[in-house]
Structure 1
């Protein structure tokens, strides 16, 4: 594990802090380690949810039909490709 290089501060109620402390103790972690692990897991879940999705068979067929359309007939793709990439702005 690498050394921490920045600080994150936030205010919470005493009840919330006590809840976190009880959960951290139950897992044998410090408050900081518990909060960091929970925050990291949630952040990864949120970002993964934007990159990975599951479809049933009917949804997959509909999705594949859209992908199979020629790009010049897909207005949504044309709008997307007309935008400047965020890293190019």
Structure 2
């Protein structure tokens, strides 16, 4: 059973009537209310944008920590070893 969470911050947006109707139709098809539909779609897109970053700006301390992390051995991490030793889907 999932625990209900209380939403404690508001997000206010203005939209055209046609946009609201489009969102309402799509939300209804998924048996969701407008708020849930907008939040899920927005958060999903935000995650995609953040995951697609290729340029990272780091200060000297952050860059040093990043380099240290790259140098660390991962031989104790069986999941990474399995990933590296396994076949890729296109090789099967």
Unaligned 5+ segments in structure 2 are 63-92
TM-score by length of 1: 0.56
Unaligned 5+ segments in structure 1 are 52-79
Distance 1:24 1:45 in 2: 21
More helix by share: 1
Distance 2:10 2:52 in 1: 27
TM-score by length of 2: 0.55
After superposition, the C-alpha distances for 1:17-42 in whole angstroms (9 at most, x for unaligned) are 00000000000000000000000000
Q: CA RMSD in A?
A: 2.0
The number of equivalent residue pairs is 56
Match among 9, 23, 27 for residue 26 of structure 2: 23
Q: CA deviation at 1:81?
A: 5.6
Distance 2:24 2:6 in 1: 22
